[in-house]
């Protein structure tokens, strides 16, 4: 009798969990259509999609063994959510990357350089971070370099680190200090002439900038941007530890974190609309690179991407985390070319110099 009761309790518990996970996943499937500027809770659901998928896969295996007729609900859920699944994992194992750049390819590097703060706590190493980053980038032999959280100053000319090979650049100069002698923002370096450039300022955060480069007889527009971050400080990371450890201050810590995340989701929703409106105006084949500060299962990603290609999905493998803190599923940096290009190669280079990983791709403009 007791054994039978236990089985019923376990069965009902598992069914309840299965239903909750299914509902959450189906809500996440609405993220391409619900702007977090208004529906900010959808942003939190998007962050946990990879984990929801793992649980749903577990239930498929479990129900196949225990009660096969129950598996159809979960399978149908995954089928309905195929759009979400397709952007979580890249399926190109062993694609490889040839460091030798072919002449007709356009090689692009995208990297959030974390204000050249580096990851080392050693003062001497920190002092060399900017030059080490520049060497790491130049070693990839890119034609175009897109950097976020870039800075330069009168006593530390970081633009000069690239000038020898990259004669052309466009810098957003979003933030200025010390009477303008210190400047920071997004920057585009190019080996090819820049014939036009522009900037769209957000209400908050770095800008969206573009540079029209001429390669051969073709004009290509390169965009880069840095969307609103959660702006977690050291105290916020300590709060996350309190939440993990169920510290007695967990509730207060949770409120602080949620407040910051809500604001970031809302601002990115507004920025995503601004970006999409601007990139749709491009008169040339274009590529947008940058730190979107949002995962592929988000309104931000889907709205900006539109019909563009995602080089990671075209040539990468796995979840491909680009931000190394907090969680192993945070792919928040992207290179998205229009359909005018063929994606030839993609690589991720972790030089242990930033909290983001460098993205490298080779594109071929179709004739």
Please choose, from the candidates 205, 111, 208, the residue with its C-alpha nearest in 3D space to the C-alpha of residue 150. Answer: 111
Residue 170, pLDDT score: 96
Sheet holding 208-215, edge to edge: 194-200, 208-215, 218-226, 286-291, 333-337
What tens-digit pLDDT sequence spans the chain (367 residues)?
566 777 778 778 888 899 899 999 999 999 888 999 898 888 888 888 999 999 999 999 988 888 888 888 889 999 988 989 999 888 877 677 888 888 899 999 999 999 888 776 665 556 678 889 999 999 999 999 999 999 998 788 899 999 989 999 999 998 888 677 899 999 999 999 999 999 999 877 679 999 999 998 899 999 999 998 865 444 444 444 444 445 555 555 556 678 788 888 899 999 999 999 999 999 999 999 999 999 999 999 999 999 999 999 999 888 888 998 777 788 999 999 999 999 999 999 988 889 899 999 999 999 8
E strand residue ranges, the chain: 90-91, 106-112, 144-153, 168-171, 175-177, 182-190, 194-200, 208-215, 218-226, 286-291, 317-318, 333-337, 341-349, 358-365
Residues 98 and 107: their CA atoms lie apart, in Å, by: 11
Residue 171, pLDDT score: 94
Does the CA dihedral 192-174-267-250 come out positive or negative? Answer: positive
Residues 67 and 112: their CA atoms lie apart, in Å, by: 48
Domains of the chain, each with CATH number or no CATH? 2-88 (no CATH), 106-365 (3.60.10.10)
Residue 252, pLDDT score: 55
Burial of 164: CB neighbours in 10 Å, binned 0-12, 13-18, 19+ = exposed
């Amino acid at each position: 009798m007791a054994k039978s009761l236990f089985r019923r309790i376990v069965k009902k518990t598992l069914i309840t969990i299965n239903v909750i996970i299914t509902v959450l996943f189906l809500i996440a499937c609405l993220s391409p259509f619900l702007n977090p500027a208004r529906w900010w809770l959808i942003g939190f659901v998007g962050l946990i999609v990879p984990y929801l998928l793992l649980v749903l896969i577990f239930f498929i295996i479990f129900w196949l063994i225990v009660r096969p007729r129950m598996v159809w609900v979960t399978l149908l859920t995954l089928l309905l959510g195929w759009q979400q699944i397709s952007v979580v994992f890249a399926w190109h194992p062993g694609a490889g990357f040839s460091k030798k750049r072919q002449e007709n390819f356009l090689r692009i590097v995208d990297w959030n350089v974390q204000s050249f703060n580096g990851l080392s706590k050693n003062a001497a190493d920190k002092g060399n971070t900017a030059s080490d980053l520049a060497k790491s980038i130049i070693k990839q032999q890119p034609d175009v370099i897109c950097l976020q959280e870039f800075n330069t100053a009168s006593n530390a000319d970081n633009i000069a680190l690239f000038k020898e090979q990259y004669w052309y650049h466009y810098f957003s100069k979003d933030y200025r200090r010390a009477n303008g002698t210190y400047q920071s923002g997004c920057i585009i370096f190019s080996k090819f002439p820049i014939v036009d450039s522009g900037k769209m300022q957000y209400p908050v955060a770095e800008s969206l900038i573009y540079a029209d480069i001429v390669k051969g007889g073709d004009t290509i527009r390169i965009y880069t941007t840095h969307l609103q971050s959660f702006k977690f400080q050291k105290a916020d990371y300590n709060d996350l530890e309190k939440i993990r450890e169920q510290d007695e201050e967990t509730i207060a810590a949770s409120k602080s974190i949620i407040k910051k995340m809500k604001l970031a989701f809302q601002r990115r929703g507004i920025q995503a609309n601004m970006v999409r409106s601007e990139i749709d105006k491009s008169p040339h084949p274009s590529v947008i690179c940058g730190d979107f500060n949002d995962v592929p299962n988000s309104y931000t990603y889907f709205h900006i991407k539109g019909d563009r290609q995602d080089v990671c999905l075209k040539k990468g493998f796995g979840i491909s985390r680009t931000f190394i803190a907090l969680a192993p599923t945070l792919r928040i940096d992207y290179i998205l070319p229009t359909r005018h290009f063929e994606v030839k190669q993609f690589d991720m280079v972790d030089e242990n110099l930033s909290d983001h990983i460098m993205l490298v791709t080779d594109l071929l403009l179709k004739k």
